[in-house]
Amino acid sequence: MTPPKHIWSGGWQEESEEDARLRAEAEAARRAQAEAAAAAAPGREAEGVRTPRRTSRGRIAGVATVGLLAVGGGAFAAGALLDGNGNDGPANPAALPAVASKPITPTRGQTRAGTIYAQASPAVVSIRTATGSGTGFLIDDQGTLVTNDHVVDTDRTVTVKFGTDGRNIRGVVRGVDPSSDLAVVHIDPSQAPADAKPLQFADSTGVQVGDVAIAIGNPFGLDRTVTEGIVSSLGRTLQAPNGFQIDDVIQTDAAINPGNSGGPLLDDGGRVIGVNSQIATSVGGSGNVGIGFAVPSNTVRQVLPGLKQGRSVSHAWLGVTIDSNPARITTPGASIASLNTNGPAESAGVQVGDLVTAVDGQPVSDASALSTAINRKAPGDHITLTVERNGSKTDIDVQLKARPAKTP
C-alpha cells in the first residue's frame, strides 16, 4: 500500500502515470541517501523522511517512506493567529459553531442518502485552477467556500461552478493553512443559486466508528457525485502539504477519488463531519480502494474564522524529528532522532537519543502521541517534557515557538 495521496484532479490519467514515475524516482533517491548515510555512520540504519513533492501539474504526491516524523503539532492547534504581515494580531476569532445533528428521515420512496444529497448537493461546487480541479462547499450566506489548501495550491483566484449548468464564477482565495490542508475561497454571494443552502458543521468528537458517512464531490470531474459508506476508523494522522502532521483524521470507506478533494463528508443528518482530503491507493494506482481520509470538522471550525479574515494560522512547534521505525522502538515513548538548530527543544537542552515519555505529566506512547500533545498547545506556551536519558529520567522545560512555513 502506498502512502495516502491527495485526491486532486487535473489530467488524472496522466497523473497516475506521473505518480508511478515519481514514486520510483523517490524510492531510488531514498535508497541512495540511506546507503550514503550508512557509509558515513556504520552500524546505524538511515531512514528517509517523508516529504511532500509538487509535480508538474501543481499537485502533491507522497514521497519516500515513513521512518522519521517531524513534530510540530498537528492541524488542530489552539495557536495564536497572525495577520497577513506576520505581526501579532488580535485575539483568536471564535471557532465556528457546531450544530447538533439527528438522522434525517427520508421521504417515502427515497433513501436517506438520496434525501441528504438533495438537500446538500446544491451547496457543493467544483473549483478549477490553472492546473486541475477539486471540490468545495458553501458554509454561509456571505459567499464563503471551504476547500483544501492543495486544491487552490498557489493560485489567488479560481473558477467556481455550481452544478453542470451553472455559470463560471470568479473566486478569490481568502486564506490558506497548509498545516491543516484547508483553504477559504470567497465569491460574490449574489452569484450562489437560491437552492444552495450553506452546509453546517457537526462536532467531530461525537463521530463514532460505524457511523454513516456520505461524500459529495467531483471525482474525475464528474459533477457532484455522491457515495455512501461508514466511518471506518478514527484518530488517524496524515501528512499536511507543508510536511507537518494532521491529527484526529476521520477514515471512511465511502468511495472518494481524484477530484473529491475539498468536498464534504456528511453524517446521517447532513452535517459536515470532515473535509475529504486524501486516499490510500494500491501501488501504481490512483483510484479508490475503500480507504479515504477527511480533515475533521472540529479542525475546520477552529481554523476557518482566521482564514476567512485573511489571516495566517500559527501552530506550535517543538523542533524535533522523531524516530518512528517500530524495529528500533522497543519501549513506549517518542525517541528523538534529530533536533532543529536553535529550535525550541535544542535550546531547552533536549538531546538526540532522549526518549520523551510524558508532556506536562501526561504519558506519551509514541511519535503520534507527542505530536498530538504539541498540537494542543500554542506558540509561546511552556511545556515540561519528561525524558529518559542514559537510564534515568529528567524533566525539561521547553517554550514552544511558531511552526515554520514547512518542515526544516
119 grid coordinates: 438537500
Q: Which residues pair with 362 in a beta bridge?
A: 359
Residue 68, SS3 per DSSP: strand
Higher pLDDT pick, 186 / 65: 186
DSSP H helical ranges for 146-290: 149-152
Residue 405: predicted pLDDT: 76
Domain limits, CATH 2.30.42.10, in the chain? 22-75+315-402
Residue 19: predicted pLDDT: 44
Confidence of residue 28 (pLDDT cuts 50, 70, 90): low
Asked if pLDDT for residue 47 goes beyond 50, the answer is no
| Mean local confidence (pLDDT), 34-53 | 39
Nearest to 240 by CA among 14, 69, 57: 69
Higher pLDDT pick, 403 / 181: 181
Residue 301: predicted pLDDT: 94
Dihedral over Cα of 207, 210, 216, 222: its sign: positive
C-alpha distances (whole Å) from 29 to each of 47, 52, 71, 153, 263 are: 12, 14, 23, 25, 34
> Grid coordinates 488542530 are at which residue?
76
Higher pLDDT pick, 330 / 400: 400
**Which segments of 169-263 are extended strands (E)?**
169-177, 182-186, 212-217, 225-239, 245-252
Which helix (H) or strand (E) segment is 236 a member of? strand 225-239
Which helix (H) or strand (E) segment is 359 a member of? strand 355-359
Nearest to 378 by CA among 170, 139, 174, 76: 76
Asked if pLDDT for residue 406 goes beyond 80, the answer is no
Domain limits, CATH 2.40.10.120, in the chain? 1-21+85-308
Q: Which residues contact 228 (CB under 8 A, 6 or more apart)?
A: 113, 212, 213, 214, 215, 254
DSSP codes of every residue in 131-180: S-EEEEEE-STT-EEEE-HHHHTT-SEEEEESSTTSPPEEEEEEEEETTT
Asked if pLDDT for residue 161 goes beyond 70, the answer is yes
Asked if pLDDT for residue 337 goes beyond 50, the answer is yes
> Grid coordinates 500533545 are at which residue?
373
DSSP H helical ranges for 241-309: 297-308
- Angle subtended at Cα 124 by Cα 121 and Cα 126, rounded to the nearest 5 degrees: 130
Q: Rounded CA gap, 153 and 87, in Å?
A: 24
pLDDT over 90 for what percent of the chain? 49
The one-letter code for the residue type at 74 is: G
Catalytic sites, residue numbers:
150, 181, 261
Q: Are 374 and 247 in contact (CB under 8 A)?
A: no
C-alpha distances (whole Å) from 98 to each of 80, 183, 226, 233 are: 21, 19, 23, 21
Asked if pLDDT for residue 54 goes beyond 70, the answer is no
> Grid coordinates 478533494 are at which residue?
261
Nearest to 160 by CA among 199, 192, 183: 192
399 grid coordinates: 517554550
| Mean local confidence (pLDDT), 141-151 | 96
Per residue in 226-279, pLDDT (tens digit) is 999 999 999 888 888 888 888 899 999 999 998 999 999 999 999 999 999 998
Q: Which CATH class is domain 22-75+315-402?
A: mainly beta
CATH fold for domain 1-21+85-308? Thrombin, subunit H (2.40.10)
**Mean pLDDT, the chain, integer:** 79
| Mean local confidence (pLDDT), 373-387 | 90
Per residue in 167-225, pLDDT (tens digit) is 999 999 999 999 999 999 999 999 999 999 999 999 999 999 999 999 999 998 889 89
Asked if pLDDT for residue 32 goes beyond 70, the answer is no
